[in-house]
Structure 1
């Protein structure tokens, strides 16, 4: 059984106010997914959970520090390389959705009040 909550919610949108609320909900959900995935990836690649990490050791950029690879490190198996690159792509895709929802929010503000400070 699949959960079509987002699809069903989309069927109910009939005003721009509804659309603004929907986009805001998507942005919040994506932010939670992105944070959770980054913390889980940190735990998987360091061998300790995010909560157990020593102070000052938490990465500012999990993709850049643990996932993204332009060259596969010596000795890394193809399986590990594909896994890391897949996780990096997923985190980047979630970031793209976050940026798209911000753009939709700014477009809405611009349509209503073009001279309003963003």
Structure 2
């Protein structure tokens, strides 16, 4: 895959964000953001797995498929660089792990926004 095959996105997040004028519109905007971030998180995890294993996610036998937390734990997160790992490989893995963790943090933050909005409307509502 080259840079020319990656579709470019318009800056719709900015356009949508500047039109929000009510708590309900904000709630909808945050829900859309959360869905987009969730898709990015899953897609990046699968792409990282494919790059590290040398074959696409879709060609992985069902018994070998990992979810994103397992990919992070088994292939990306490092507190100590494994023996024989090049600096280039360690940096690549660490940067992928950091990006996946950041996407997870955004997902958690959007959930917090939803909970705050819900609690502001009805503190006793079941979450």
Q: TM-score range by the shorter chain?
A: over 0.9
Q: Does 1:39 align with 2:33?
A: no
Equivalenced residue count is 118
Displacement of 1:3 in angstroms is 3.2
TM-score by length of 1: 0.95
Match of 2:113 in 1: 104
Q: Does 1:66 align with 2:75?
A: yes
In the alignment, is the contact (CA less than 8 A) between 1:59 and 1:65 conserved in 2?
no
Q: Does 1:19 align with 2:15?
A: no
Match of 2:122 in 1: 113
The runs of 5 or more residues in structure 1 that have no matched partner are none
- Name the Cα RMSD after superposition: 1.4
The runs of 5 or more residues in structure 2 that have no matched partner are 1-7
Q: Does 1:8 align with 2:11?
A: no
Q: Which runs of 4+ in 1 moved over 6 A?
A: none
